[in-house]
Amino acid sequence: MSNDSTSAPNFIRNQISEEIEAGKVDKIVTRFPPEPNGFLHIGHAKSICLNFGLAEQFGGDCHLRFDDTNPAKEEQAYIDAIKEDLHWMGFEWAGDVRYASDYFDQLYAWAQHLIREGKAYVDDLSPDEIREYRGTLTEAGRPSPYRERSPEESLDLLERMKQGEFAESEKVLRAKIDMASPNINLRDPILYRIRHASHHQTGEKWKIYPSYDFAHGQSDAIEGVTHSICTLEFEDHRPLYEWFLDNLPVPAKPRQIEFARLNLNYTLTSKRKLKLLVDQGIVDGWDDPRLPTISGMRRRGYTSASIRKFCDMIGVTRADGGLVEIGMLYHAIRSDLEDNAPRAMCVMKPLKVVLTNVPEDHAEVFEVAGHPARDDMGTRKLPFTREIWIDQDDFMEEPPKKFFRLAPEKEVRLRNGYVIRCDEVIKDDAGEISELRCSVDFETLGKNPEGRKVKGVIHWVSAEHGVPVEVRQYDNLFQVEQPDKDKETDFLEHLNPESLVTVQGIAEPSIRDVAPESRYQFERVGYFCADRYACVDGKIVFNRTVGLKDGWAKAQKKG
């Protein structure tokens, strides 16, 4: 596939081009290394497009490697979801799926190598004591009293840790680097922790598991990764990444390059916080359409092309560009669906209209375009009957001056149909409008009425042939731009109570046999996607992807 996200120059792409031209690298190998402790989100999408896109552009390979070093938080379900998301995004990894656990034996041997070289030791300090001894950003750390343990004793203790002889947190293996380093990551970082947890790939074999810092660079080296591309929070870890490569007999030396992560307003991308939303039932699973997970965005109606386009729009830089406007994401999907989504009509708040001069047995069918600019989408049939539904918002009993929809003794055109006039308003015992009585001007199909101008056009559905639908109108999950900015306030306090509003609508019959995840523009309303679970109580479920108005695009034009 062709990936749009490689079309724009960026500093990483330029660096790799220079390296290839200088003969420093023959074939680039990148990797996407997700931790299988949650679903992928829009921030991961940026990394996916970058890593896979660079490999594609330069004729290299991109590996999928699961960073499965913490079995207590990992699940096979996450692994399966991540692979499905990558396929849906349109990317294929080189070779088999890889796991950090594939290299556990080699990593253990390299840990023993560091001990023999006097560059690692088993420490008995507790987690709190290790934190205390490590110091602060302004104060140097202190050496552990176990730092000068003999290699022989540390090798013996490490093997016993591996066999499960000690309790969790009773001992750790640490690298021996520099407790006075201004970079805290070099103050004797932890290489192995004891975890009595069954692993989804290795079962009960291991009772100790490597840290991310120890496993990551060495896994890159084993796989022949040339460019280890990660986000800026790992910049301070790069000296440690390089220390391991310099002090171990690794087969290759990858280069770590950092780029700015994606921060999207009105959105959270912390997997810990997303998991909390899921676990507390605040959202309906990891694929809830309000979440920024790739699975949730797909369910909401986003296309993989629109997500790749968005990643291309925001670009790749080293500088933290602050918050990205969510309007850019909405613009990307609107642009895609404007061109590619077939049209249909759906009434969200039905109000019955009786067309008094249409016979009860009247059976007329309008054949209209599936898309106004796409002949390949064919046509659809709209039955026109005596009784129809219109939207309540398209009628006002006492309209303001510039209200160009339906009102008493006023005319409006039915989309793709005739001009009608409202002659009578019927109300129930509570004084609420229950029905409109209107008349049709049969001389107005496809042409303007004689001697008068009708400005308004409204959508409608035949009462006899309409299909009941449940429409889930999604909005931002949070009410503020940065829901977790204030550390003194729980981010849950910023939840938007209107993030999901469900209405019972009626759609035209052309959507009756719609396939799950089919996308439509409901004319005059917005873009919608048939839910992947299709029906609830016999009704087709549609999820609102985004409204019709593109405020971000207008703002760009003004700028």
CA distance 149 to 5: 51
356 annotated binding-site participant:
no
Backbone angles phi, psi at 78, to 5 degrees: -70, -40
- Among residues 363, 411, 419, the alpha carbon closest in space to that of 387 is found at 363
- Among residues 48, 531, 511, 527, the alpha carbon closest in space to that of 335 is found at 527
* SS3 at position 477: coil
CB 192 within 8 A of CB 210: yes
Residue-level pLDDT at 487: 78
Query: Cβ atoms within 10 A of the Cβ of 377, count?
Result: 15
73 annotated binding-site participant:
no
Residue-level pLDDT at 9: 78
Which mean pLDDT values do the consecutive 10-residue runs of the chain (559 residues) have?
Answer: 55 95 95 97 97 96 98 96 98 98 98 98 98 96 98 98 98 98 98 97 97 98 98 96 98 96 94 96 97 98 98 91 91 97 98 97 95 96 98 96 94 97 96 97 93 94 97 96 85 96 97 95 98 82 94 63
- Among residues 112, 85, 448, 460, the alpha carbon closest in space to that of 294 is found at 85
79 annotated binding-site participant:
no
Cβ neighbours of residue 18 closer than 8 Å, sequence gap 6 or more? none
46 annotated binding-site participant:
yes
Active site (annotated) includes residue 148? no
Residue-level pLDDT at 3: 44
193 annotated binding-site participant:
no
Residue-level pLDDT at 4: 47
Backbone angles phi, psi at 196, to 5 degrees: -90, 75
CA distance 461 to 383: 8
Cα–Cα distances (Å) from 312 to 10, 41, 225, 292, in that order, read: 10, 16, 24, 17
CB 285 within 8 A of CB 291: no
Partner residues linked to 379 by β-bridges = 369
Tokens of 313: 């729009």
Residue-level pLDDT at 558: 64
End-to-end CA distance of the chain: 34
43 annotated binding-site participant:
yes
Q: Mark out the alpha helices in 58-95 (DSSP H runs).
A: 76-89
CA distance 483 to 490: 8
- pLDDT tens digit sequence for 272-290: 999 999 999 999 999 999 9
Cβ neighbours of residue 109 closer than 8 Å, sequence gap 6 or more? none
CB 432 within 8 A of CB 364: no
Residue-level pLDDT at 174: 98
CA distance 386 to 388: 7
Residue-level pLDDT at 478: 97
CA distance 36 to 74: 5
* SS3 at position 233: helix
Residue-level pLDDT at 557: 66
CA distance 413 to 385: 15
Residue-level pLDDT at 2: 43
Q: Is CATH 3.90.660.10 what the domain over 344-467 is classified as, yes or no?
A: no
Query: Cβ atoms within 10 A of the Cβ of 132, count?
Result: 12
Active site (annotated) includes residue 261? yes
CA atoms within 13 A on the CB side of 553: 10
CA distance 543 to 444: 35
- pLDDT tens digit sequence for 455-505: 999 999 999 999 999 999 999 999 999 998 887 679 999 999 999 999 999
Active site (annotated) includes residue 98? no
531 annotated binding-site participant:
no
CA distance 145 to 77: 43
Residue-level pLDDT at 78: 97
464 annotated binding-site participant:
no
Q: Is CATH 3.40.50.11290 what the domain over 27-259 is classified as, yes or no?
A: no
- Catalytic residue of the set 19, 35, 325, 517: 35
Block residue for tokens 């000068």: 148
Residue-level pLDDT at 117: 98
Residue-level pLDDT at 6: 45
Residue spans per domain, the chain = 27-259, 344-467
44 annotated binding-site participant:
yes
Residue-level pLDDT at 208: 98
CA distance 306 to 329: 8
Which helix (H) or strand (E) element contains residue 368?
strand 364-369
Cα–Cα distances (Å) from 283 to 404, 536, 542, in that order, read: 39, 18, 17
- Catalytic residue of the set 65, 134, 149, 271: 271
- Catalytic residue of the set 261, 405, 410, 532: 261
Fold agreement between 27-259 and 344-467:
no
